[in-house]
Structure 1
């Protein structure tokens, strides 16, 4: 998920604190969820959310949640990962989300972080982009690959297309993306 305008709000310790705090609290608000790797990088974040539902019943089965052996668990135990998106990568706009879906979870997360960051930090204009990218992880190999990608994301920041000073940006893009948190007052 990216910040609105790709502003580098997460360079600020208090903004980063709230973003991480409420991310870690997602399973408390949604008991059918476990978190995998996550990383906040200047103006965006990556994270793995696993939604577990027992396919034999309509209630959520917490004991079948994916933890350290994530990815393999849903195959071995017969649990299914539930998501409100098709199997392919999809650009998702979280409107009218089904309760408990990835869209609803992220909508709630964005709402609480936006409210607290605006209230408790100097960034009264903090906001998230409306949409986000999601992907259904199908097996342990893919889970491991995506985890490595997330864990290495900060190291790749210099070459990241979301980095306004990356050599991958044109002069016009750098100028437009040049809104850094300390320049927004």
Structure 2
């Protein structure tokens, strides 16, 4: 799918602010893919569709999670997590994306997972560090991403986990497990 066609499909589903975020994620993902040797077109497509379901009604997302037999555990955590797996499903069903690597990068861009692929890591990080993001610690992760993708990923997950813990919010187990997996595999 060509960039302009993908952007047109996604723009119809997003607010202008979220569309600008998507452009930032796309540009960041392209840079990271080029730097770390990932397929740039796959990174571009996954980045464009990463928030495809972000503004779908919660009732619709809940229905898709149940009907498609997605992990029921999702329903026990913040509904902010839902748009990623639902977005992967809808990107396939509505936009015709069939590349499983692209769909997985969309599916896991908020939670991470054990055994993240290079594409998964790039989309997760691009979403975290795109130029429109402004929060404590993001500049440090941006600098790390330029030098070591796994170190940047570890720091971004650490920041997210600490943020949730400070707010007394539960942390989705896939995120803890992804963090542990990356730390173990990168030598700490």
Which has the bigger relative contact order, CA under 8 A and spacing at least 6? 1
- Answer 1 or 2: which has greater helix percent: 2
Question: In terms of Rg, which structure is larger?
Answer: 1
- Both proteins in one fold, TM over 0.5: no
Superposition TM-score, scaled by structure 2 size: 0.29
Which structure dedicates a bigger proportion of its chain to strand?
Answer: 1
Query: Taking structure 1 as the reference length, what is the TM-score of the superposition?
Result: 0.29
